[in-house]
Amino acid sequence: MFKKINIHKRILLMFTAIVLLSAVSLGIILFVGMADVRRNTQKIGEEFGNSVTNFADEIISYNLQRQIREVTLYKVRQVDRELASIKDHTAYLANAMTSILQHPERYSKRELPTPFERQIKSGEGYLLIATKLQAECDRPDVWESIHLAANIVDYQESMAKFYENSPIAFNFGSKYGYFISLENYKTEEKYRDIHSDSYHSSYDPRQRSWYKRAQKAMDVGFTDVYPAVNGAPRINCSAPFYDKEGFAGVMGFGVQLESLYNLVTENSLGESGINFALNKKGELLFSSQEEGLLSVGDGHKELKDVPEPSIAKEALHMINGESGFCVVTIDGEEYYFSYAPITSMGWSFGALLKCSEALAPTIAVKDSLISQTKKFNAVMNSIFVGNVISLTVLFAALIWLFFIVSRMTAEKFGKPIFTLIDGVREIAQGNLDKKIEIKTGNEIEELSNSVNHMTARLKDYMDNLVSVTAEKQKVETELSMAQDIQKDMIPHIFPAYPDRNEIDLYASNKPAKEMGGDFYDFYMPDDNRLVVTMADVSGKGIGAALFMVTSKAILKNTVLASNENNLADCLSRANNQIQQNNEAMMFVTIFLGELNMKTGEFSFVNGGHNPPLVYRAKEKKFEYLSVEKNTVVGARKNYKFKGQSIKISPGDLLFLYTDGVTEAINEKNELYGEERLLNVLNGLEEVPSSKELIQKVQESLNAYMGKAEQFDDITMLSLKYLGENGVKKLQ
């Protein structure tokens, strides 16, 4: 049959067969190629999604864990700082009572109200002698002790102003059984309940746990948690105080756990955050969870015995004083769990946050990528089906445009896809500044815009982390600058007056923290007078440093502006200026003196400061200077200070200091003391220069303290009078 077809038809048939065969073969090749492109594109898209998701997951998880740990450590430091402050204040009040009982000549007798006479107000100091103890205390020597000890109320009231919004109690229990207390409570109703007749009829401080603890240990420390009279859980910091015969009683500083709980529950992590604390036995002290596994409930719950193994296991680490971070399960929910020890009490603090809440940003990124990937696959499928139909129509109608259409199709749909793939690979490698530019007007452009938006959000998140770190470094730098500025405000260039042979002057200041509250000062109002100042601001840190700067400036300006040369009047005026607008209720102890370098007359006024020592060259002996019992500066408005004066002979010396010297403690928590200071000075073979004298005292302090931490500023000033014709030894 084929032989019967003519040549024209054969050529046409052969040409048609060749064209059809070529077209079919090309169509199969193109179909397979496009299917492969679609498969590879989808695979790369999925790999990109997984890569970006893992990258984001790692970054967010890492920073989240660090944030939880940092918040936990920050709250622990808050509690430790609060407990350290309570401990310092307890030691301060115990030392104040010791000073009162050992130096009765400095204080007058005082009467205090009792709850048997009238209702005692919150924040008011009072005396309690329980009915059953009145016979025991009804002795002249005990009443002498009571009237003298009543002076501690001034210190209690000043200290209570720091805690006016907290339910605290300052309790002084005597070895005789009488009780001097000042307590703050939020409501008058609770105050009346606590101070009921039954309470006052039998209360003996000597039987309380805080009294027994300090009497046994003879140091400053905390009790275990115990229920207060009103039932609220409380801890008590207590310290012994002494009279001339030895142990005289215990100072107790009671603090309800509510205050510490408020510190650690502020700004909790997320809505699902849980905060709690354990004691040394592993019992829950407090918890933000009112119900459930971590609630305190009735009685003591030991966390290591709860039925959830992951929590019980970590509880053992907490009891051992360890820090950690892990994932635990509570009621079928996974939580991030961070914990750290509260070293000052031997407690442990824990914070939890639901993993689902913490990882919400990561889940959102994953969901967004999955959604975009599905859209991308749908676009690819739509493009693939459309191309197959178009190619079929084109092959049937326009065979001669086969290769051109294929090339145009590949360029139209392949180039933006590969541009997207290349950009995604570069982003996945860490270049978050990469922007994918695709202008197709379809879903591929929308997908590229979504990738750009996601990349920008990741970059902003990382930039914020860098900004937070930089801000922290800035704060540390500014604190260092403030420390240098404060140091420069105190005279520190010696010899101070190299052209004056009448005096040999030297001073030193050693802060306990970055910013100190002690200061000294000296200046000459005229050619014949030298004014010296030694002062100690209440408290420590930046607040004390600012108060110190203000007090120093006011005092110096007042003295220089005075035409009367009356130091007592100058200090009275400075007291009113310092007390004005003193909302922080701070105060400063000041010793202010003026030496007439021509006559040797030394006028001075003491504002609640430690008495200085005076060296008499004729007797070759140091002794404490007798000073008036004036109050501290900044505590009472319109207070009239009393001044004094003595005669200083050539060769005599004045040694001024702050209580950081006499109250320095060694590794056994024992005070350096005024007697030791006097013995060290009188033990010198000869009185050296002022600089060498201060160095000798500092060497004695260093040897006594050993490795013990310095908890108060140490400031000293030595002034040796050489007379009009004296010859100063080079410093």
DSSP state of 322: -
Q: Convert 615-669 into a string of H (helix), E (strand) and C (coil).
A: EECCCCEEEECCCCCCCCECCCCCCCCCEEEEECCCCCEEEEECHHHHCCECCCC
Q: Is the peptide bond before 495 cis (omega within 30 degrees of 0)?
A: yes
The pLDDT score that the predictor gives to residue 66 is: 79
DSSP state of 609: P
**Among candidates 571, 585, 610, 605, which has minimal Cα distance to 714?**
610
Query: With bands split at pLDDT 50, 70 and 90, how would you rate the model's confidence at 230?
Result: low
Give burial (CB, 10 Å; 0-12/13-18/19+) of 726. Answer: middle
Query: With bands split at pLDDT 50, 70 and 90, how would you rate the model's confidence at 191?
Result: low
Tell me which of 217-226, 262-271, 626-635 is least confident: 262-271
The pLDDT score that the predictor gives to residue 173 is: 94
Looking at the chain, the whole-number percentage of residues with pLDDT higher than 70 is 80
Query: With bands split at pLDDT 50, 70 and 90, how would you rate the model's confidence at 263?
Result: low
Higher-confidence position of 629 and 263 = 629
**537: phi then psi, degrees, rounded to nearest 5:** -85, 140
Residues 359 and 338 sit within 8 Å (Cβ to Cβ) = no
Looking at the chain, the whole-number percentage of residues with pLDDT higher than 90 is 38
| DSSP per-residue codes, 558-608 | HHHH-SS--HHHHHHHHHHHHHTT-TT---EEEEEEEEETTT-EEEEEEES
Higher-confidence position of 681 and 446 = 681
- pLDDT tens across 686-714, in order? 999 999 999 999 999 999 999 999 989 99
- pLDDT tens across 589-626, in order? 999 999 999 999 999 999 999 999 999 999 999 999 99
The pLDDT score that the predictor gives to residue 247 is: 95
Q: Is 233 helix (H, G, I), strand (E, B) or coil?
A: strand
- pLDDT tens across 199-227, in order? 677 889 999 999 999 999 999 998 888 77
- pLDDT tens across 14-56, in order? 657 776 777 677 778 876 776 776 677 667 766 766 676 666 6
Task: For the chain, list the domains and their CATH numbers.
Answer: 2-82+360-461 (no CATH), 103-256 (3.30.450.20), 268-358 (3.30.450.20), 490-721 (3.60.40.10)
- Over residues 253-263, the mean pLDDT reads 76
The pLDDT score that the predictor gives to residue 71 is: 78
Higher-confidence position of 526 and 266 = 526
Residues 6+ apart with CB under 8 A from 391: 27, 30, 31, 405, 406, 409
Higher-confidence position of 725 and 324 = 324
- Over residues 451-458, the mean pLDDT reads 78
d(CA 187, CA 181): 18
- Look at residue 86 and tell me whether its pLDDT is greater than 80: yes
The pLDDT score that the predictor gives to residue 730 is: 42
The pLDDT score that the predictor gives to residue 404 is: 64
d(CA 482, CA 344): 29
d(CA 545, CA 486): 8
Segment (H or E) for 354? strand 347-354
- Look at residue 452 and tell me whether its pLDDT is greater than 90: no
- Over residues 440-459, the mean pLDDT reads 76
- pLDDT tens across 136-145, in order? 898 999 999 9
In the predicted model, what is the mean pLDDT of the chain?
A: 82
pTM greater than 0.85: no
- Look at residue 104 and tell me whether its pLDDT is greater than 80: yes
The pLDDT score that the predictor gives to residue 96 is: 93
The pLDDT score that the predictor gives to residue 55 is: 67
The pLDDT score that the predictor gives to residue 626 is: 95
